[in-house]
Amino acid sequence: MKTLVVVLGPTGVGKTELCLQIAEHYGIPIINADSRQIFAELPIGTAAPTLEQQRRVFHYFVGNHHIQDYYSASMYEQDTMILLEKLFQKSDIALLTGGSMMYIDAVCKGIDDIPTVDEETRATMKRRLEEEGLEALVEELKEVDPEHWKVVDRKNPRRVVHALEICSMTGKTYTSFRKNKIKKRPFNIIKIGLNRDREELYNRINQRVLDMIGNGLEAEARKVFPLKGLNSLNTVGYKEMFSYFESKIDKAEAIRQIQSNSRRYMRKQLTWFKHDEEIQWFHPDNIKEIINYLDTTLQITNK
C-alpha cells in the first residue's frame, strides 16, 4: 500500500533538517506544504529551503509561483494529488511537509469544491476593501451569509473578501459550498507532529527573525513593496516591514512585531494541529527515533 508521510509542526520548530534526513533515508523528494514558500520572490521572509538544501533533496512547490498569481488550497490539493500519482509509480513512500494547516488538510482530507474566483470579481472586491474598509465588508457578509459570518475570522481580510467574492460571483452563500466531507484517499497517511517546549520555540522564532533580517529581509521586502496590496504579501514579515517603510513604526519595532506575530501564528498552528488525533508527536531533535518509528510503522502497514 502506498503511504504518504506528513511532517507538520509550527513555524520555527525545525521541520527542515528532519525532512531532509527522512528524504535521504528513503531516497525520495520533498513536497512543500507551506502556502508562502511557493512564491519565488519571498525566499527569505518565508524561510524557504535554501538552494543548497534543494540540491541536497529535490523539493516540489518551492518558488514555483509568483506573488501576482492566484493560488488556493483547492488548487494545491489538485496539484499535489496529480504529483502523488506520479511519485507513487516510482516509490511506495512520499513525503509532504509544512506548517500551512489548510494545505495539509486539503491533501489529507480533501477540500470543498469552491468555484475559482474570476479576475473581474477579484479586482472589484480588492478595490472595495481599499475604499470601504474591512469592517464594511464584514457587515455585508453578515447580511448575505450570516452562517459563515459566525465562524469566519472577521479580522482576516483575505477570508472575508474570499467569501464575499463567492457570494457575489455565484449568487449563492459561501456556506452552501462548504460540505466539510472528508475524501477517501487511495493511500495510507502517517502524520508526524513536531513540537518543543514553549520557551524554546519562542527563542528559536525570535532568533530566526533576526537571522532573516541579517540575510536581507528588508531588501527583499522593499522589492515587493510596490505590490503591497496583494494577498500573497498579507503575511507576517512583510506587513510589518511595509509599516516601517511607510514610517508608521521604526525598524526596531518592525522586528519586534515580526517576532510577536510569528509567535502568535505558532500558537494558532499548534491549536489547529492539536485537534488532529492522528498525529504522532515527537521532539524534532529525535531524528533516529522518528525514522525508526516510520520504518516500523511502514513495515506493519505493508504486511
Both 162 and 208 in one domain: the answer is no
- What percent of the chain is modeled with pLDDT above 90? 77
pLDDT at 303 over 60: no
Both 42 and 135 in one domain: the answer is no
- How confident is the model at residue 179, as a pLDDT? 66
Both 232 and 272 in one domain: the answer is yes
Both 129 and 85 in one domain: the answer is no
* Average pLDDT for the chain: 93
Both 126 and 43 in one domain: the answer is no
User: Whole-prediction pTM value?
Assistant: 0.83
pLDDT at 226 over 80: yes
Which residues constitute the domain of residue 138? 119-177
Q: CA-based Rg of the chain, rounded to a whole angstrom?
A: 20
Both 134 and 98 in one domain: the answer is no
Both 140 and 273 in one domain: the answer is no
Asked which of 177, 203, 225 is the last residue of a domain, the reply is 177
Both 147 and 47 in one domain: the answer is no
Q: What is the CATH number of the domain that holds 157?
A: 1.10.20.140
- How confident is the model at residue 197, as a pLDDT? 96
- Count the domains in the chain: 2
Instruction: State the pairing for strand pair 188-194/3-8.
Output: parallel
Mean pLDDT is lowest, of 32-46, 135-149, 197-211, for 135-149
pLDDT at 301 over 80: no
Both 51 and 132 in one domain: the answer is no
- How confident is the model at residue 7, as a pLDDT? 98
pLDDT at 281 over 60: yes
- How confident is the model at residue 180, as a pLDDT? 65
Both 187 and 90 in one domain: the answer is yes
pLDDT average, residue stretch 67-89: 94
Q: What is the CATH number of the domain that holds 213?
A: 3.40.50.300
List pLDDT tens digits, range 143-162. 999 999 988 888 888 889 98
pLDDT average, residue stretch 273-279: 92
Both 234 and 221 in one domain: the answer is yes
- How confident is the model at residue 111, as a pLDDT? 80
Mean pLDDT is lowest, of 15-29, 80-94, 177-191, for 177-191
Both 125 and 85 in one domain: the answer is no
List pLDDT tens digits, range 233-271. 989 999 999 999 999 999 999 999 999 999 999 999 999
